[in-house]
Amino acid sequence: MRILQLHCDSIEYTPTKKEIKSAEDIENPQTQRLEELVVVFVAIEDGDDSSVAQNAITQIKNSMEKIGCKKLLLYPYAHLSSNLAKPSTAMSLLKEMESGASELEVSHSPFGWTKSYKLQVKGHPLAESSKVVTKDSESKDTEITSDALKGESTIRSYWKILSPDGTLTNIGDFDFSNHKKLEILAKYESAKSRAVDQPPPHVALMKKLGIADYEPASDSGNMRFFPNGRLIKSLIERYVTDRVKEYGGYEVETPIMYDSEHPSMVSYFNRFPARQYNIDSEGKKLFLRFAACFGQFLMANHFQLSYKNLPYKLYELTRYSFRREQSGELVGLRRLRAFTMPDCHAFCKDIPQAVDEIKVRFDLSQSVLRELGIEESDYEMAIRFTEDFYNGNKSSIEELVKKHGRPVLVEMWKEKFFYFVLKWEFNFIDNLGKASALSTDQIDVENGDRYGIEFIDENNSAQHPIILHNSPSGAIERIIYALLEKAAKDSKEGRKAQLPLWLAPTQIRIIPLNEEFYDFCEKLTDRLSANNIRVDIDDRNGSIGKRIRDAEKEWIQYILVIGEKEANSENLSVRDRQTGNVKEISFDDFLTEINNQTKEKPFTGLNMPKHLSKRPQLMV
RNA sequence: GCCAAUGUAGCUCAGCCUGGUUAGAGCAACUGAUUUGUAAUCAGUAGGUCGUGGGUUCGGAUCCCGUCAUUGGCUCCA
């Protein structure tokens, strides 16, 4: 059966004459006019039966629910196929479809008549679609066909929930009452239903805190990072890189642009047409990388690898990777066209080694996020695999779910369509119920071959490695987005919004009561700075209240007001932003308190003038 | 990319529907006074081709069309 489905403002049709002998009898062949409806042109083909009709009407109803339309006109339309069913069969299947949609306002135009018609189709993207429905495309489970690739064949996904105890439940049967965020993720992924009418809070925060802003002179989705933002970003970058190196990744650097006509790129491209930035240069068709994969694969191609070297891990922090995402998809720091992505590939000798390795990287990813300030309760896990891979590796998959400790969303494919057989990711759920992937890992069974990467096995024969693709944190910009969204949530729920101390652009603000105490403040600043703390001095002429207020607006955790009392005391009077109280504490105890929050994290000095009087106001 | 909303001073916004003196306010900046004890000291000065291009009009921030950007929804997200 072939169907062409159009969401219309109106249709007007007039039966003119019977086209075939068996045409339907109708009482008055008058002009009919219908408004605000979905018109479905249907060609019923040889071999179609009742199940096809049921399947087709279900699909039509699903898509109508999506666009919120309740009126349906089935319009028999022979010209869609050259392999038509017999009119009698067609007629009965058409009626069956009509009765299968009885909850809608449904009708059909007369069968077997020549008709003139006029229709006005709506302009939205879902307004027009065509489908071919055949017997074997039916399915038992909840199913959503995702257009993984525009214009190419579709793959069918089965959405399920996998619990830590190993039970696999259809999404429709799962009780989400204790798993609200997972429900959001499941809906987001499978039903794509969202309703929000406000900008995400991090967009205002990234500007207010002088972190990042849009750059109108660039392309959309290419941000500029102010000194504060650069400092935060560079600390996160360093932290993630340190952790990956500790895990055993070797850091490399690869070009940001590649020749799309280079032999290794061609087959990859044909299979995965990406939305990339293209650059023509001296006859070469170059494109900007959208991931670190090819750079590392092309490099690994030149390594002489033995099975004894494996697993072997290459790592790059790409600043930037570029994806020309649809303009309507770009939002603040959540989705960008230029982003910084840590990407670690592990070359493994076989699936068992890959499966062992993926567990290590799973732990690494969980730990990296936690240390960056993103708790396990902030994200939900999704795991995607082929049915075959699941059946062969049930216990390992269940082990990953156990590590997460909560049910996870599963997308299962009947057959491998992408280059991987398994992929998992952690999805951060923000204040507005939007999901976006942070950490991820994949088991890639194709690119070893495609890029000609080889290792020599125990029997002296050349093999292609299985490749894991892991980003332990996801895009660095997205981590900042998640931290800001979390802070916004704290603020909304009455807590004080704050960045982790090790990421704070200013960790301590010193406020002299008046000029008399400047010297003392300078010396105190030097003492603190010598202990790797970012300290600045508000030497502006203003009231104490005003300067405290400004420090609060910058989310500065510790404020030291310096006056007569402090200048003559061994101890410090520290105002802690979380409590708003001033406490007296010895210099060493204060250092310990700070150190407890920043230990094992990278440090860099202030990225702004130490004196606020020397600092431009950033108003964005 | 599609549909919608928004775009006025460095920032946040008013004015627009119903066209009509020199386009307003608060914050920030600058100058001066003030020398301050834990979330906003006072006064003054300066700052705008109203996103951008075109049209209608005697006259456009205001009405119309195009375009760019941001945000929301859709689609997408290997």
- Tell me how far apart the alpha carbons of residues A255 and A408 are, in angstroms, rounded to a whole number: 37
Integer distance in angstroms from CA A615 to C1' B35? 21
Q: Is A478 left (phi over 0), alpha (psi -120 to 50) or beta?
A: alpha
Place of tokens 């504490």: A585
* Subset of residues 3-62 in chain A with CB less than 7 angstroms from any atom in strand B: none
Q: How far is the CA of A227 from the C1' of B67 (A)?
A: 33
Q: Does A518 contact strand B, using a CB cutoff of 7 Å?
A: no
Contact indicator for A258, A367 with CB cutoff of 8 Å? no
Burial of A566 from C-beta contacts in 10 A (0-12 / 13-18 / 19+): buried
pLDDT tens across A112-138, in order? 777 778 776 665 445 556 666 655 433
Q: Give CA–CA dist A142/A158, Å, rounded.
A: 6
Residues 6 or more apart from A300 whose CB is under 8 A from it?
Answer: A312, A314, A345, A347, A451, A453
Q: Which of A 366-395 have CB under 7 A of nucleic chain B?
A: none
Tell me the sheet residues that pair with A537.
A510, A611
Which pLDDT does position A620 carry in this prediction?
64
Nucleotide nearest to A323 (CA to C1'): B77
Class of the CATH domain delimited by A501-614: alpha beta
| Cβ of residue A276 lies below 7 Å from strand B | yes
CA distance A58 to A155: 18
- Which of residues 440 to 479 on A have a Cβ less than 7 angstroms from any strand B atom? 442
Nucleotide nearest to A272 (CA to C1'): B78
CATH code 3.50.80.10 region(s) in chain A: 2-137
- Give the residue with minimal CA–C1' separation from B40: A546
CATH 3.40.50.800 boundaries in chain A: 501-614
A544 touches strand B (CB under 7 A): yes
Which nucleotide is nearest to A437 if distance is taken from CA to C1'? B77
Give the whole-angstrom CA distance, residue A58 versus residue A470: 39
**From edge to edge, which strands make up the β-sheet containing A257-259?**
A257-259, A284-288, A278-281
| Cβ(A84)–Cβ(A121) below 8 Å | no
Distance A128 CA to B1 C1' (A): 15
Q: How far is CA A279 from the centre of its chain?
A: 26
Q: What is the pLDDT of residue A133?
A: 66
Q: How far is CA A584 from CA A503, A547, A595, in A?
A: 25, 20, 18
CA–C1' span, A206 to B9, in Å? 22
Distance CA A84, CA A489 (A): 59
Answer for A172: CB within 7 Å of strand B.
no
Distance CA A16, CA A29 (A): 7
- Give long-range contacts, CB 8 A cutoff, 24+ apart: A526-533: A527/A587, A529/A605, A531/A591, A531/A594, A532/A598, A532/A603, A533/A507, A533/A508, A533/A594
A497 CB below 7 A from strand B atoms = no
pLDDT given at position A431: 81
Q: Give the per-residue pLDDT at A16.
A: 78
Which residues of chain A carry a pLDDT beneath 70?
A: 27-28, 47, 62-63, 65-68, 80-83, 120-156, 188-197, 267-274, 619-620
**Strand B nucleotides below 7 A of a protein CB?**
1-3, 10-12, 27-29, 33-41, 68-78
DSSP string, A437-465: EEEEEEEESSHHHHTT--EE-TTS-EEPP
Q: Which helix (H) or strand (E) holds A408?
A: strand A408-413
Determine the distance between A4 (CA) and B7 (C1') in angstroms: 40
Residues 6+ apart with CB under 8 A from A112: A18, A19, A20, A22, A23, A24, A76, A87
Rounded to whole angstroms, the Cα distance separating A577 from A506 reads 13
What residue is closest to B39 (Cα–C1')? Answer: A549
CATH code assigned to A2-137: 3.50.80.10
A274 CA → B67 C1’, Å: 27
Q: What tokens were used for A178?
A: 């204790």
Name the fold adopted by A168-254+292-483. BirA Bifunctional Protein; domain 2 (3.30.930)
**DSSP symbol at A192:** -
Residue A148 approaches strand B within 7 Å at CB: yes
Q: What six digits make up the tokens of A362?
A: 């799973």
Distance A227 CA to B42 C1' (A): 33
